[in-house]
Amino acid sequence: MDKYDSISPLDYRYYSGEIFDKLQPYLSENAAIRYQLMVEVALVMALAEKRICSSKIAGEIEAAAKKVTAAEVYEEEKRIKHNIRALVNCIRRKVSAEAKPYVHFTATSNDITSTSESMRIRDAVVKVLLPELAELERILIEIAEREKNTLQIGRTHGQHAEPITFGFTIASYVSRLGGRILKIKDAADELRGKFSGAVGAYNASSLFIKDAEKFEEFVLEKIRMKPGSHSTQLVEAEYITDLMHAIVSAMGVMANISDDMRHLQRSEIAEVYEEFGAEQVGSSTMPHKRNPINFENVKSMWKEFAPRMITVYADQISEHQRDLTNSASSRFNTEIVAAAVISASRLKKVMSRLKVDKASLKNNFDKSSSVIAAEPAYILLASLGHPDAHETARKLTLEAGKTGKGFEDLLLKDRKLKPYLKRLTKQQLDILKNPEKYTGLASEKTGNVCREWRGKLGIK
Amino acid sequence: MDKYDSISPLDYRYYSGEIFDKLQPYLSENAAIRYQLMVEVALVMALAEKRICSSKIAGEIEAAAKKVTAAEVYEEEKRIKHNIRALVNCIRRKVSAEAKPYVHFTATSNDITSTSESMRIRDAVVKVLLPELAELERILIEIAEREKNTLQIGRTHGQHAEPITFGFTIASYVSRLGGRILKIKDAADELRGKFSGAVGAYNASSLFIKDAEKFEEFVLEKIRMKPGSHSTQLVEAEYITDLMHAIVSAMGVMANISDDMRHLQRSEIAEVYEEFGAEQVGSSTMPHKRNPINFENVKSMWKEFAPRMITVYADQISEHQRDLTNSASSRFNTEIVAAAVISASRLKKVMSRLKVDKASLKNNFDKSSSVIAAEPAYILLASLGHPDAHETARKLTLEAGKTGKGFEDLLLKDRKLKPYLKRLTKQQLDILKNPEKYTGLASEKTGNVCREWRGKLGIK
Amino acid sequence: MDKYDSISPLDYRYYSGEIFDKLQPYLSENAAIRYQLMVEVALVMALAEKRICSSKIAGEIEAAAKKVTAAEVYEEEKRIKHNIRALVNCIRRKVSAEAKPYVHFTATSNDITSTSESMRIRDAVVKVLLPELAELERILIEIAEREKNTLQIGRTHGQHAEPITFGFTIASYVSRLGGRILKIKDAADELRGKFSGAVGAYNASSLFIKDAEKFEEFVLEKIRMKPGSHSTQLVEAEYITDLMHAIVSAMGVMANISDDMRHLQRSEIAEVYEEFGAEQVGSSTMPHKRNPINFENVKSMWKEFAPRMITVYADQISEHQRDLTNSASSRFNTEIVAAAVISASRLKKVMSRLKVDKASLKNNFDKSSSVIAAEPAYILLASLGHPDAHETARKLTLEAGKTGKGFEDLLLKDRKLKPYLKRLTKQQLDILKNPEKYTGLASEKTGNVCREWRGKLGIK
Amino acid sequence: MDKYDSISPLDYRYYSGEIFDKLQPYLSENAAIRYQLMVEVALVMALAEKRICSSKIAGEIEAAAKKVTAAEVYEEEKRIKHNIRALVNCIRRKVSAEAKPYVHFTATSNDITSTSESMRIRDAVVKVLLPELAELERILIEIAEREKNTLQIGRTHGQHAEPITFGFTIASYVSRLGGRILKIKDAADELRGKFSGAVGAYNASSLFIKDAEKFEEFVLEKIRMKPGSHSTQLVEAEYITDLMHAIVSAMGVMANISDDMRHLQRSEIAEVYEEFGAEQVGSSTMPHKRNPINFENVKSMWKEFAPRMITVYADQISEHQRDLTNSASSRFNTEIVAAAVISASRLKKVMSRLKVDKASLKNNFDKSSSVIAAEPAYILLASLGHPDAHETARKLTLEAGKTGKGFEDLLLKDRKLKPYLKRLTKQQLDILKNPEKYTGLASEKTGNVCREWRGKLGIK
């Protein structure tokens, strides 16, 4: 198949170069089958150690498994309409008559697929997604630390509110993404395998093995997995559900960063920008455009993948010891991991070349500086016993708006307020006169947050 | 790329053989680029007819467009980071200096992509999805007609309720699927193109063309498309939203058929079954199993794709004349079409070999026949003035349950009820004695429904 | 129950004053029961006309139904655990022994509830939602017409793109909302009732009535409803699914308007604003804030209600002639209607007092005017045979950015471009010199769109 | 407002009696305002301890707060259009001029609302939801232990598979629900408050307090809350997102129990049933029906509430230091908690009166007993070196199906298999002859699982 014959945008568009190299070993169908083979091999190795078969047989099966290809398995499946039986047949064909019985011995299909899916998703998360997110986190920390004193007007409702610093803005994401990284790590570590047979009661393995529960642990240990508290034909659905939640909610944090950055890139705001390559075209008809396409893309991926949690929730429900209405849908779980990697990788790149325009930051701040003093004014007046401080400040801002005079001037010249103002501390008065100093703990907090997350995540 | 290097289950698993042949011409990325080229050609053809360029130039561009490949466009995009400008560059390289300016003349990228996406989705729907659904509908009609007199116990809450026929059960889906086919057809016909420039105001085309709105219609007519009432950079989102809704809701009907059929295949019910191929393996460890994997798959596809409507709804929202937060997400719309085709095709096959087990149907009916008479009994008693008919019937069923006696017997022998029973018509009494005749209009209605939908959809 | 003892924000917060008066008659539980009673009355009226009971009995039942209250029905339901049987008992208690049997005669619970739910939702849509949306549409048309020549910079990616007018911006919503209004109207008209009994086969009614299908039509006509092509215990789910889709997608259009308007209210953009009441507080600590809380609320309602379409899709699926896993979920459909009314009503009010700040509009436009000429320049150069027009324009914008010179100046003074520029028409040159004239058909199109939708919706 | 004037099914239908008593103190709007007042009081108490105001003032404010009612706050909000400022005004009106300034001193609205929402949701979860779930868990454990040896046929694909016990079936839910209980507990404990001002930088509080971060901790400690690592105007969204995920996924487990139980109640299966009250009506027209309406309701609640996670995910995204597009949507979070309580409470009741029909269990098992031996037969043959054991077993089951003979008989009499069969252990042969013994570790595992979860959850 030509790559561009693909239907899924993941395959024909977002999965190439570095991304391909990173994801192929875990998330491709070739990888799926390779992991299934690893579980079949773990089983026969355990059988040999328990002296149910000889180690020669185990070696023979291991060697055979290495030669099985996805194409071969699919060819066999086309004939017999059963994917794991097809896999088993492909191995069996490559071993001696003596070894044949020990391929897939006492296993049910889902012992293999539930376990191998948990394994490869865990590996993809631990070896690809978490490092990408950690790298993004590191970049965010560096921006936050670098810009912890860079004045920015804080915004609520898209309106100028109170002063902060650009580093403080980013610190919010340092903390939120840091939290998600820990959540993903915990959930990946919790993924489980199983070797309890067709309905979870160890019916088949108990025919041969005295303590089939122990044997399950023994098989799974070989591939660094653990069983859950109980299984049916399936591993309990909640392990993967928790992981998908952790990933989707991390994509939400990345989408939020992206929304913020693209709004800060609006023509009228222009507080940040992305350095473009010399050859890069902004728009096919508008050569002057510098569009936040990377941030838009990260948001767009979130729009595509967040709703898929509903599928994950629906797949929690399986009738009795199992129906197979998750046969197609659960195959798409790997796409969620892929999308998170693609988004993290893209966001990492664009954040690493993000430029902060200090002139714009100052310019935007100045537009509102005359009214920014309204909050401290109201609070200070109130603290000094003014009976109606909030309303007084509100009316002064209206007057500042109408007359074009500075709020500070109106405030400091207001005769009725004199008795209060003269009781202010020097520092308090300083803030009323210089609203750019009204940044509270923005800088200190940024430092604290970065320090905390460097520590928690071991980022040097 | 090896097919099994794909990440998406759509690509590595569900897209092969006949399905590949059907979908590739519309839903692959190769198809996407072919359709974009078709729009570029339509534009230059229109320019030539309006004498803005020569027809020689138009011919030259048309010939060049035929030679452009997806791989080439992606290669150029990698260099300049803009997909449509890459496409344009690929065409321009293949034409004379004189022709170059007329490639993409006055167009914005989205004039090409919005239009070409509408076109190929419309074509995929009209040429692939609708024929698959019509074929499924034909099969359903044939089953309904064939089995319109086959007695079945109707079920509500999974409990035996009142008698119907198996044809009547299927007639429900004839009607519901028929309705969805019409809905999809209407929505596909409504898809629109645009040729109104970067913000929808015909800024560029108005520089050269007196009536740019008319010119838009003229270009679109060449590819059998129409413009909407208004556009920005984008065609209004609601056209595709309505189509996706129609498709997803049709998948809902297919999921409902599948749920019903797989439950009717339960070991204890066994009213229908699917003929298995001689080589087909039911289960890797349980050789006796006959599993409803196809019905489960159709349900599973619905679980995966129904939630994606939320993405479609989210893509309705685009800031101002357009943000690009639908850049990735809207690319997945074609997957919804593909999934519907895959499901319809699978369901069509399995329904065409569905077998009805009349012995099981009768057997299941008989289990409840003794209490089925409860409803007509209650209603007939009520009609004859019995003051507490419902409660009386309820108590008789409890008694029938406890004693193992037939409800009919208990009813007909109840002395207090005698005065009422003797006033029944012969036909009414006949139904009380033979509950299998209490099928109401099941058979007639089935005939009516099938006739109606044969007519509406032109199915012979 | 104290109103503030409610749990649902719909009940304790958004449902008061005018909204309460509008919604209570259709969407409250009192209304639900009133409509159920209307169906029971329609049935007995039909029975009387068909001479199955006397018209005296019908009158007696009608009079009794008028006296039944929701509280009474709920009290009875608590005793017998069945809601429609409770309703029936409440009526029966109020009529003579002779009339009792004809209450609910041959009906199944769902004949009453499916029909009454369709009726009240249809009425809520036709009598409340559609008028609210029509009023909003009228306000949008008036804004569009009034501002059709008000220059605005068009935006894509949040970046300045090409000039349009504010009226043109609004015309987009005139068209999109207009389309949704028609869609909702059509879907509401399509809602269906049923009178086909417990499994849809007219089992019970056929015991007494020769043509039970005709009788169904006859009953439903009395309450201006029609049956569908087929029913089981339920009316086909797709009618309500289509209506909910139409409503949710209309909420999407309202959310998009709201997003646009709140971004245009950003401190740095300030192209529109909402007049605040004299007493209104913008923020509890920041007295100077003017927050777009109404637009935010409309967007927020969309966030709450769009995902609920997944519930509606899930409710399409019901096993066999019906399972009852829609028992709770389908009750929430009325909330979607309520939310749409609440949003339309709020948006209507805020749009009617929306102010356009022409100074800000001009000011924002001017920031980019020097580069706006880039697009027409590139296109005009291309049309005159310049071999590399797009790249040339792109480089000039970069130069304009670096040097602070106007793009027009750089363009008109570029020696290499002279041969091309002198071949421009006067009008074309005029646009290059005055980019504010480069609005294409923005004004005309606005007029056309408003005219079209005034016509289609009968808005004077 | 009359209760039945409500729009939300939560309010008019599911919220009465015991449920009302449990939820009202936390999830009603009255409760919301009571919790807001608690935060305002905690603030002034902290101010007094830090000697910013006198303890007399603090006491005065505390007394005033106790008198404020929801109705009063809503009345004031109607006037000034700001909910927290309205609350503050209501308190201020009730205190001396001297105390007025210290009401809400240096707080922003969201310091109050973010904190109070976290508090009341935590309390509702800890004091109502978790006890309900623990009670349900206890009931499940008791069933599992009681029925750990009750033979049941295990089912996959709705088809008979291998033998288990009914206790083992329930043990699956003991484990899965147990896991969810821990998840909910952890997430509730993680909910955070904030006291960091309008943009999170402690701008206002820093005017007066040296270490405003410490002061935040100090205020929150008074109400047993903690701050997060960072906040903006909002507490980080991920805390509530994780809790909602935990709750929704617990509802998924409850939905799965419900699906299983209602299918086991199907007329043909009838392995479990629910004891009905003497007065309870099964169906309005079919007096003999015993419908699983409670299980259906629990599933239906899941259908309504699982999609709402998309809203929760969407509310993770807030522009800059906050937009208010979560103003309406986040209010609905409490409904998710309410729905979980309603479902747990209902499921608890129905499971506590669930009856197991051992005759049906045995009867269903016997239907397949002749083929159940197929799996152990295939595996045992394979273990003894039969080269084609799976295919051999498969063919024997086909023969058993066609001839009506028992699989065991065919197997034991097959001459070609003799050499293998004579090498079986006594225990293995015993299982082939008595398939009801082929339950593996079903009973032991059930015991283990119950013991484990009794321990982890402290259930005696």
pLDDT tens-digit profile of A99-124? Answer: 998 999 999 999 999 999 999 999 99
Chain D residues with beta carbon closer than 8 angstroms to that of B163 = none
> Is B161 in the same domain as B217?
yes
> Is B298 in the same domain as B210?
yes
Average pLDDT on D14-29 reads 96
* Secondary structure of residue A156 in the 3-state scheme: strand
Question: Could C269 and A266 be called an inter-chain contact, meaning their C-beta atoms sit closer than 8 Å?
Answer: yes
Measured CA to CA, the distance from residue C149 to residue B340 in angstroms comes to 46
Each of the 460 residues of chain C gets a pLDDT tens digit; together they read: 789 999 999 999 999 999 999 999 999 999 999 999 999 999 999 999 999 999 999 999 999 999 999 999 999 999 998 999 999 999 999 999 999 989 999 999 999 999 999 999 999 999 999 999 999 999 999 999 999 999 999 999 999 999 999 999 999 999 999 999 999 999 999 999 999 999 999 999 999 998 999 999 999 999 999 999 999 999 999 999 999 999 999 999 999 999 999 999 999 999 999 876 655 555 555 444 578 999 999 999 999 999 999 999 999 999 999 999 999 999 999 999 999 999 999 999 999 999 999 999 999 999 887 778 888 998 899 888 887 888 888 888 888 878 888 888 899 899 999 999 999 999 999 998 899 999 999 999 999 999 999 999 999 8
Measured CA to CA, the distance from residue A105 to residue A142 in angstroms comes to 54
Q: CATH number for the domain including A138?
A: 1.20.200.10
Question: Could C284 and D2 be called an inter-chain contact, meaning their C-beta atoms sit closer than 8 Å?
Answer: no
CA C109 centroid distance within chain:
31
* Secondary structure of residue A193 in the 3-state scheme: strand
Residue D164's DSSP bridge partners are: D152
> Is D59 in the same domain as D129?
no
D315 touches chain A (CB under 8 A): no
Chain B residues with beta carbon closer than 8 angstroms to that of D390 = 281, 284, 287
Interface mutation target, options B43, B205, B208, B285, chain A, most CBs of A under 10 Å = B285
In a domain, A11, yes or no: no
- Residues of chain D numbered 57-86 and touching chain B (CB < 8 Å): none
Measured CA to CA, the distance from residue A338 to residue A19 in angstroms comes to 9
Q: What is the mean pLDDT of chain B?
A: 94
Q: What residues contact D416, with CB distance under 8 A and at least 6 apart?
A: none
Quick one: pLDDT at residue C279? 56
Quick one: pLDDT at residue C288? 46
Which region, left, alpha or beta, applies to residue B54 given φ > 0 means left and ψ of -120 to 50 means alpha?
Answer: beta
> Is A374 in the same domain as A241?
no
- The answer to whether the Cα torsion of C419, C420, C423, C424 is positive or negative is negative
Quick one: pLDDT at residue B288? 46
Cα angle vertex D285, ends D280, D287, to 5°?
A: 45
Nearest to residue D242, comparing CAs of D155, D402, D122? D122
Least confident of A370-384, B253-267, D168-182: A370-384
> Is D90 in the same domain as D122?
no
Q: What ipTM, to 2 d.p.?
A: 0.95
Neighbours of chain C (3+ CB pairs under 8 A): A, B, D
CA D362 centroid distance within chain:
33
* Secondary structure of residue C364 in the 3-state scheme: helix
> Is D268 in the same domain as D119?
yes
Residue B251 in tokens: 């998948």
A317 touches chain B (CB under 8 A): no
pLDDT tens string B322-370: 999 999 999 999 999 999 999 999 999 999 999 999 999 999 999 887 7
CA distance D126 to chain A (A): 21
In a domain, C256, yes or no: yes
Q: How many structural domains is chain C composed of?
A: 3
C361, C392, C419: which is the final residue of a domain? C361
B412 touches chain A (CB under 8 A): no
Q: Please, are residues D30 and D24 in contact by the beta-carbon 8 Å criterion? A: yes
In a domain, D434, yes or no: yes
CA distance A436 to chain D (A): 11
Q: Please, are residues A121 and A193 in contact by the beta-carbon 8 Å criterion? A: no
Q: What is the mean pLDDT of chain D?
A: 94
Residue in chain B lying closest to A314 (CA): B303
Question: Could C328 and D14 be called an inter-chain contact, meaning their C-beta atoms sit closer than 8 Å?
Answer: yes
* Secondary structure of residue B105 in the 3-state scheme: coil
Over the Cα atoms of chain D, what is R_g?
30
Measured CA to CA, the distance from residue B217 to residue B422 in angstroms comes to 76
A325 touches chain B (CB under 8 A): yes
Chain D residues with beta carbon closer than 8 angstroms to that of C335 = 7-9
Chain B and chain C share a number of CB contacts under 8 A equal to 318
Average pLDDT on D40-67 reads 97
In a domain, B159, yes or no: yes
> Is A232 in the same domain as A262?
yes
Structural domain containing residue B15: 3-102
The structure tokens 């009905």 sit at D276
- Residues of chain C numbered 345-404 and touching chain D (CB < 8 Å): none
Q: What residues contact A115, with CB distance under 8 A and at least 6 apart?
A: A39, A193, A194, A195, A220, A223, A225, A235
* Secondary structure of residue C163 in the 3-state scheme: strand
> Is D380 in the same domain as D254?
no
Q: How many CA atoms lie within 13 A of A140 on its CB side?
A: 31
- Residues of chain D numbered 139-158 and touching chain B (CB < 8 Å): 153, 155-158
Neighbours of chain A (3+ CB pairs under 8 A): B, C, D
Chain B residues with beta carbon closer than 8 angstroms to that of D265 = 158-159
Measured CA to CA, the distance from residue B368 to residue B407 in angstroms comes to 10
Residue D350 in tokens: 């129905």
pLDDT tens string D267-290: 999 999 987 665 555 555 544 457
Q: CATH number for the domain including A381?
A: 1.10.40
**At D197, is the pLDDT very low, low, confident or very high (cuts 50, 70, 90)?**
very high
- Using CB atoms, which residue from B307, B314, B335 is nearest to A311? B307
* Secondary structure of residue C152 in the 3-state scheme: strand
Question: Could B228 and C384 be called an inter-chain contact, meaning their C-beta atoms sit closer than 8 Å?
Answer: no
Chain A and chain B share a number of CB contacts under 8 A equal to 243
What HEC string does chain D produce? CCHHHCCCHHHHCCCCCHHHHHHHHHHCHHHHHHHHHHHHHHHHHHHHHCCCCCHHHHHHHHHHHHHCCHHHHHHHHHHHCCHHHHHHHHHHCCCCCCCHHHCCCCCCHHHHHHHHHHHHHHHHHHHHHHHHHHHHHHHHHHHHHHCCCCEEEEEECCEEEEEEEHHHHHHHHHHHHHHHHHHHHHHHHCCCECCCCCCCCCCCHHHCCCCHHHHHHHHHHCCCCCECCCECCCECCHHHHHHHHHHHHHHHHHHHHHHHHHHHCCCCCCCEEECCCCCCCCCCCCCCCCCCHHHHHHHHHHHHHHHHHHHHHHCCCCCCCECCCCCCHHHHHHHHHHHHHHHHHHHHHHHHCEEECHHHHHHHHHHHHHHHCHHHHHHHHHHCCCCCHHHHHHHHHHHHHHHCCCHHHHHHHCHHHHHHHCCCCHHHHHHHHCHHHCCCCHHHHHHHHHHHHHHHHCCC
CB neighbours of residue C78 within 10 Å: 11
Measured CA to CA, the distance from residue D3 to residue D9 in angstroms comes to 11
In a domain, A10, yes or no: no
Question: Could A266 and C262 be called an inter-chain contact, meaning their C-beta atoms sit closer than 8 Å?
Answer: no
What is the number of residues in chain A? 460
Residue in chain A lying closest to C284 (CA): A390
Residue in chain C lying closest to D21 (CA): C5
Is the pLDDT reported for residue D196 higher than 60?
A: yes
Type of residue numbered A257:
I
CA B181 centroid distance within chain:
7
Question: Could B162 and C252 be called an inter-chain contact, meaning their C-beta atoms sit closer than 8 Å?
Answer: no
> Is D416 in the same domain as D321?
no
In a domain, D16, yes or no: no
The DSSP result for A124-153, as a single string, is HIIIIIHHHHHHHHHHHHHHHHHTTT-EEE
Measured CA to CA, the distance from residue B90 to residue B103 in angstroms comes to 10
> Is A300 in the same domain as A378?
no
Residue A143 in tokens: 């921006």
> Is C249 in the same domain as C392?
no
Cα angle vertex D156, ends B283, D147, to 5°?
A: 135
How far from B253 is each of A302, B272, D261, D440, CA to CA, in Å? 28, 19, 25, 40
> Is C91 in the same domain as C161?
no
In a domain, D415, yes or no: yes
Quick one: pLDDT at residue A402? 81
- Residues of chain C numbered 430-449 and touching chain B (CB < 8 Å): 431, 438-442, 444-445, 448-449
**At B371, is the pLDDT very low, low, confident or very high (cuts 50, 70, 90)?**
confident
Measured CA to CA, the distance from residue D320 to residue B43 in angstroms comes to 43
C298, C329, C361: which is the final residue of a domain? C361
**Per-residue buried b or exposed e for B2-41, using 16+ beta carbons within 10 Å of the residue's own CB:** ebbbbbbbbbbbbbeeebbebbbbbbbbbbbbbbbbbbbb
Residue in chain A lying closest to C293 (CA): A157
Cα angle vertex B216, ends B236, C423, to 5°?
A: 130
Chain C residues with beta carbon closer than 8 angstroms to that of B197 = 162, 440
Measured CA to CA, the distance from residue B392 to residue B420 in angstroms comes to 13
C299, C334, C361: which is the final residue of a domain? C361
Q: CATH number for the domain including D76?
A: 1.10.275.10
Nearest to residue D117, comparing CAs of D376, D378, D279, D329? D329
Measured CA to CA, the distance from residue A315 to residue A325 in angstroms comes to 8
* Secondary structure of residue B231 in the 3-state scheme: strand
CB neighbours of residue C41 within 10 Å: 22
Which region, left, alpha or beta, applies to residue D270 given φ > 0 means left and ψ of -120 to 50 means alpha?
Answer: left
Nearest to residue B173, comparing CAs of B378, B408, B351? B351
In angstroms, the first-to-last Cα distance of chain D is 44
Measured CA to CA, the distance from residue B158 to residue C305 in angstroms comes to 31
Residue B274's DSSP bridge partners are: B354
Residue A422 in tokens: 């003269």
- Using CB atoms, which residue from A82, A281, A296 is nearest to B284? A82
Residues of chain A with pLDDT under 70: 276-289
Measured CA to CA, the distance from residue A315 to residue B302 in angstroms comes to 12
Measured CA to CA, the distance from residue D403 to residue B311 in angstroms comes to 54
Residue D102 in tokens: 């210290």
Residue C418 buriedness (CB in 10 A; 0-12 / 13-18 / 19+): exposed
Quick one: pLDDT at residue A288? 46
Residue A164's DSSP bridge partners are: A152
**At D139, is the pLDDT very low, low, confident or very high (cuts 50, 70, 90)?**
very high
Quick one: pLDDT at residue B276? 65
Q: Please, are residues D172 and D179 in contact by the beta-carbon 8 Å criterion? A: no
In a domain, C452, yes or no: yes
Q: What pTM, to 2 d.p., does this model score?
A: 0.96
